[in-house]
Structure 1
Amino acid sequence: MNTPHRAPRVPTKGERTLRPGKAGSVGALDAGPSRRAGGLRTWLEALPRETRDTLFLLAVVGWVALMQVAHLPWWCSALTGGVLLWRASLALRGSPLPRWPWRLGLLLFASAATWATHGTLLGQDAGVTLVVVLLALKTLEMRARRDAFVVFFLGFFTLLTHFFHSQSLLTAAGILIALLGLLTALVNAHMPVGRPPLAQAARIAIGMAAMGAPIMLVLFLLFPRISPLWGAPGEDRGRSGLSGTMRVGQIAELVLDESIALRLRFEGSPPPQSELYFRGPVLSAFDGVEWRPARSGFPASMALPGELAVSGAPVRYEVTMEPNRRPWLFLLEAAAEAPDVPGMPVRMTNELQWLTDRPIGSLVRYSAVSHTSFRHGPTAHTLALQDHVALPPGYNPRTLAYAQELQRTHGSGPEATPRLVNAVMERLRTGGYVYTLEPGVYGQHTADEFWFDRRMGFCEHIASSFVILMRALDIPARIVTGYQGGELNGVDGYWTVRQRDAHAWAEVWQAGQGWVRVDPTSAVAPDRTGSLQRLRAPDGAFVGALRNINPGIATQLRAAWEALNNTWNQWVLNYTQGSQLDLLRNLGFRSPSWNDLAYVLIGVVVAVSLIGAAWTLWERQQHDPWLRLLQRARARLSAMGVDSADHTPPRELARRVQQRWGQAEAAQGVAQWLLRLEAHRYARPGDHLPNLAMLQREFRQLAWPRKDPV
């Protein structure tokens, strides 16, 4: 006989534990021959249900925690893994769970380690660390079904914390696997009798998820969108990418970051590769080591004006930008019109950088119009330009001496600026300078080392040394950072700009022209800015093997994956408030508002409810009408004091009616009707009997006896 089974549990201290070697014990199942005879699957199937269910739940919890490993302190991952393995060992050996001093000690250690790591027990990072540890520790006191339920729902909550770090398609797929695993464990815990297979629980869980999918889709499309409660964290390490400052010469080796910064889709033909400059922060203040945005000492009335004037054909495009925790929008140089960013006010600085009113913590999509032919900045010399020729004293003496030599050769003053710029660019082209990602650490005089000693570096070394030399020549100059280039994804037609495309170039001021872009890196490494063959990170072993077998297959697979991920970004992550209103416009609303959205949502809910009610009514109609008629008769008799079970046949009901009311005319009529009802079901073919519709009419016309017999 099957007995009720409670959720995953191990014997407590007061319970008898099976010893190794006894028939049916856990110890006997651990024997090597049984594993070898039937394999791992047979061994798992032979485990007691409680042990099997516990191991399955521990595996799901381990998957939930594994997805967080990259964002957890090392001690948290080690502690979580150790606790789960310990709990699995206890389940396999049938040993009692650890006593409360052990659990309390581990909890205190985890709290102290969290405080030491994060400096607090509150906040996003510390909170996620504690939640993962508590999820693992809770498995050490999982004795009854209610303890298992706590683990289930704590696991569901932990799944949500994954979105703190990533909302990518890969993360969503991992969360879906964990969700189905937790649902399977939850369904299995509600099947207390016998030993139902996990596959059966998994089928029920998948069916539940499938039935909930339409509701989820409706809520996703129509429920009012709110701003995300979290941002996307970033790292400021020695990796390619952008930051608000540029510290020159402190990175010995640059690691290329392959992550995507933004995706673009152009209307019509895109500009040439050499003109794809996406403007970011402009750095004008230099202290000898680090470049920062300028903080002019001049009053606002004397600040350096932008004075942007565009010409030529406009370039229209749409950008999908990954979160960067900065208020920066990257636009193709130069945009005279504000980009259309749903729900975000934007502004342009005098340095042509576009900013939002808050850091961008989630995926954002905006459309923009740019011109690759433009002029900006004052055309006549102003006092504010003095900020762009300032150099700190005591730095780069050889560069300053070289500047004097250039002035003696090519002249000085505004009219000599083009000649001086060309001379420096020619030196970069012909002077043996090399573009490298491993320049080594520079010393105090970074420009001197670049121009005369090392003659190597990446874009920040080249741009910084160029601007320092320009300022030494008394030419206003500054550094512009952003992204340059990109690559076309042949699968979906989007251009992909990666963090490895982060770039630094220079702008020099020329009389009558304003600020003019000069990219000194293009003189050292033309392929860096003018070729589709971009910088690439080293391939891993698998990708390298694919390239050796088929040079194009790795690129095609990568393009297909990024196109799929881009589709996820466009249709899911970037489904904003504006997208909801656009949906209403497509449904026929001329000027949709949030009230319209609420009306549509209510209408859909009502329509779905009516459809569900109609389905229920239809399904009821599909049941056996003979059984429904018998049930009506049974309910009527029950109200009159004649009790019966669901399996009581009509003949027995007729006998009980006659036994209760005797030969009363009404009782005889009911008894005869019940007998005809039974005959309709079980009569031989060809017998002349009333049809079911006639029996239903007779039922409504029956004269029922009084409740109490005379």
Structure 2
Amino acid sequence: MTAKQKFTVAFNNAQLAWTLVFLLATMIPLANDLPLWPLLVAAVTIGWRWWLHVQRRRVPHGVVRFLWTLANAAFVFATFRTFNGLAPGSSLLIIMAAMKLTESVRVRDLLVVIYMSFFLILANFLFDQSLSVALYSALLVWLGVTCFSQVNRSSVQDAPIAALRDSGRLLAQAVPLTLLLFVLFPRVPGPFWALPSASQGQTGLSNSMQPGSISQLLQSDAVAFRVKFEDTVPARQELYWRGPVLEHVQSRHWRPLRHSDQPTELRVFGAPIRYEMILEPHQENWLLALDMSAPDALPDDARILYNGALTSNGKVFERRRFSLNAHTRYMLAPQLSEIQRASNLNAALTGNPRARDIAVTWRQTHTNPADIVDAALEYFNQQPFVYTLSPPLLPGPHTVDDFLFGTRRGFCEHYASAFTLLMRYAGIPARVVTGYMGGEYNPISEHYTIRQSDAHAWSEVWLEERGWVRVDPTGAVAPERVEQGIAAALSGGESLPMFIMNNSSLIRGMRQTLDAINTNWNHWILGYGQERQWEFLGKLGMHTPSIARLVIVLAIVATLGMMLFALWLGWRSRVVAHDPAHAVYRRFTRRLNHLGITINDSEAASELAQRAAQELPAYANAVENFCTLYEQLRYGPAQQDISRLKRALRRIPPHRLLMRR
């Protein structure tokens, strides 16, 4: 059977089963990133196609397939409002692969589905580049190569274990070349895997704050970023990771001001604290940094805004790795402009009369603004305020009054918002800063992991000759939050997530081990960009690497590889030439191939004889006799006459046209 004939014949049960299993396996990890309905449609279509094949039913009419495909495409557009992007494109690809099965009747149709499934593996890795996804993708490639091999067989397929073993051997041979290309292939600046997706839900902080926006993040153990300090490690109460700064308030909602290009003076004191950060994608422009970032050691595309927040030129759609310097002693804006003063004194003109009255009382009692700040903190500390995850709703028009003098139960965003407004009522410029506080130290990899559950909000007040000063009113209510962490600050009756409550040393150790593995994966594999590649090549002796030099090195390595491969082929041909029995056996297999028998190089002669005898019953005795003589000649204890093997070969016709009718 020719190659063209092989691809145009109908497939069998095993070939279809391999293809369906491979397609389903590639869809599984996409359930985390795509709507459920495209996966369900594809799964139902796959099951339906298997039922049609088993029941020997005809595939649906072309008009039905066209209308069904058009309807699914319309659903994709209705879901995403576009066909452009990673999520809509992946959803469409899944549906198209499943729909291709409904018209598949030949082997070449299954091959198209297999190719589409390989693209789904790539799409999955574009969504998530974690180590677990990479390992699963490697297994999918192994399964895909096995599936491709089995579908290409025109007759009997191998047992699954044997098929996986053979394809695994092929992939193992490709590992050295893969590693070589990973190390030497020229890197372009910026990660390759970053694709913005409008469908990606934002996890973590946002550019605004309202009651509940921080507390809801406590339920998430997703990593926000990882940090490794070079030498000096700040005390835990100094681990404030600065994010968006919110200065405009309307009702209960805080958001940043628009005039973000105002020049502001920043003075830093003491030795810098050097650290490396791996920031997870959050689809915003701002970056997280230890309060306060040194302006002379920033990433190339980053800058410090007038309010001390660190921002990048583009949104963070991919994991980023960069080094920063920080100073925990600093002075931000020793002179406050009139625009900034007015913006940070602005409060609602009406509402919250009791809060206004107590603020005015403090202002009349204390002439020093710092004393007013202390009076407010003392009020939070002495009154029966409760730090809780489940504060009551405050639906009335005077929400600050209801909180300060009524419920007195809230999370960090409640205390930061109320304190900031109290300061503004008292005539002190104040604003809200959101970010993260603390972090979990991993002794295995010696880094800190900051999760979404570490999200925090605090206040800043502007004081004469001191500039903007951080004030954390949550620390006045629950000092354990600052000193020990979220779990120690909340009361025993709170419903905390298991990853926060669990104090088992075994589980904590396992979690730290996995986190250390993921950190090294991010550092050495995903972080292997142009800068790290050139640094590595410099250690190998290429002191001035460039893309041109890398291309030359790759060309040299490729030439040497081809030369070695040619030498191996020559050695292999000489080995075959010195084995007359094997040479005759090769003629035998070619003859069977001309007669329509698929040849598997890993198949023993006796197995080939058994299979060929079933397909060529008229020549069963001749085939079995030849294979028996070959095995005796090749593996027997005594040397046999090669002429007997050649005579046995002559009894098998060289072409199907010469076969007896």
Aligned pair partner of 1:411 in 358, 362, 366:
366
Q: 1:173 to 1:8 in 2, by over 3 A?
A: farther
Pairing of 1:621-640 with structure 2 (within 5 A): 621-623=574-576, 625=578, 627=580
320-329 vs 488-497, which deviates more?
320-329
Q: Which amino acid aligns with 1:411?
A: H
- State how far apart, in whole Å, the 1-side matches of 2:78 and 2:122 are: 25
Q: 1:195 to 1:313 in 2, by over 3 A?
A: closer
- Aligned residue number for residue 514 of structure 2: 561
- Aligned residue number for residue 238 of structure 2: 275
Q: Which amino acid aligns with 1:401?
A: D
> In percent, how many aligned pairs have the same letter?
31
C-alpha deviation, 1:555, in angstroms = 1.3
Q: Secondary structure at the residue paired with 1:374?
A: strand
Aligned pair partner of 1:605 in 545, 558, 574:
558
Q: Secondary structure at the residue paired with 2:245?
A: strand
- Aligned residue number for residue 584 of structure 1: 537
Q: Which amino acid aligns with 1:179?
A: V
Unaligned runs of 5+ in 1: 11-48, 635-683, 686-710
- Aligned residue number for residue 375 of structure 2: 423
Normalised by the length of structure 2, the TM-score is 0.80
- State how far apart, in whole Å, the 2-side matches of 1:510 and 1:54 are: 74
- State how far apart, in whole Å, the 1-side matches of 2:328 and 2:44 are: 58
- State how far apart, in whole Å, the 1-side matches of 2:304 and 2:337 are: 23
Q: 1:75 to 1:122 in 2, by over 3 A?
A: same
- State how far apart, in whole Å, the 2-side matches of 1:75 and 1:626 are: 60
Pairing of 1:351-430 with structure 2 (within 5 A): 351-379=307-335, 384-408=340-364, 410-412=365-367, 416-430=368-382
Give RMSD over aligned pairs. Answer: 3.1
Q: 1:8 to 1:258 in 2, by over 3 A?
A: farther
Q: 1:364 to 1:232 in 2, by over 3 A?
A: farther
Pick 1 or 2: higher relative contact order, CA cutoff 8 A, min separation 6.
Answer: 2
Q: Which amino acid aligns with 2:275?
A: Y
Q: 1:232 to 1:491 in 2, by over 3 A?
A: farther
- Who wins on radius of gyration, i.e. which is larger? 1
- State how far apart, in whole Å, the 2-side matches of 1:626 and 1:284 are: 85
272-281 vs 311-320, which deviates more?
311-320
Determine if contact 1:320/1:363 at 8 Å carries over to the other structure.
yes
C-alpha deviation, 1:144, in angstroms = 0.6
Aligned residues: 576
Pairing of 1:287-686 with structure 2 (within 5 A): 287-296=250-259, 303=262, 305-339=263-297, 341=299, 344-379=300-335, 384-408=340-364, 410-412=365-367, 416-443=368-395, 444-532=397-485, 534=487, 538-539=496-497, 551-623=504-576, 625=578, 627=580
C-alpha deviation, 1:576, in angstroms = 0.8
Determine if contact 2:16/2:110 at 8 Å carries over to the other structure.
no
Q: 1:612 to 1:378 in 2, by over 3 A?
A: same
Aligned pair partner of 1:174 in 116, 136, 139:
136
Q: Secondary structure at the residue paired with 1:378?
A: coil
Determine if contact 1:165/1:233 at 8 Å carries over to the other structure.
no
Determine if contact 1:379/1:510 at 8 Å carries over to the other structure.
no
Q: 1:523 to 1:247 in 2, by over 3 A?
A: same
Q: Secondary structure at the residue paired with 2:443?
A: coil
Q: Secondary structure at the residue paired with 1:68?
A: helix
Determine if contact 2:85/2:198 at 8 Å carries over to the other structure.
no
Determine if contact 1:249/1:441 at 8 Å carries over to the other structure.
no
- Aligned residue number for residue 57 of structure 2: 95
C-alpha deviation, 1:235, in angstroms = 6.0
Q: Which amino acid aligns with 2:522?
A: N
Confirm or deny that 1:197 pairs with 2:149: no
C-alpha deviation, 1:604, in angstroms = 2.0
- Aligned residue number for residue 206 of structure 2: 243
- Aligned residue number for residue 219 of structure 2: 256
Determine if contact 2:332/2:467 at 8 Å carries over to the other structure.
yes
- Aligned residue number for residue 610 of structure 2: none
Q: 1:163 to 1:395 in 2, by over 3 A?
A: farther
Determine if contact 2:85/2:196 at 8 Å carries over to the other structure.
no
Q: Which amino acid aligns with 1:513?
A: R
Q: Secondary structure at the residue paired with 1:67?
A: helix
C-alpha deviation, 1:194, in angstroms = 2.5
Q: Which amino acid aligns with 1:453?
A: G
CA deviation profile, 1:57-78 (whole Å, cap 9, x unmatched):
2122112112212322232222
Unaligned runs of 5+ in 2: 588-637, 640-661
83-92 vs 109-118, which deviates more?
83-92
- Aligned residue number for residue 230 of structure 1: 195
Q: 1:339 to 1:332 in 2, by over 3 A?
A: same
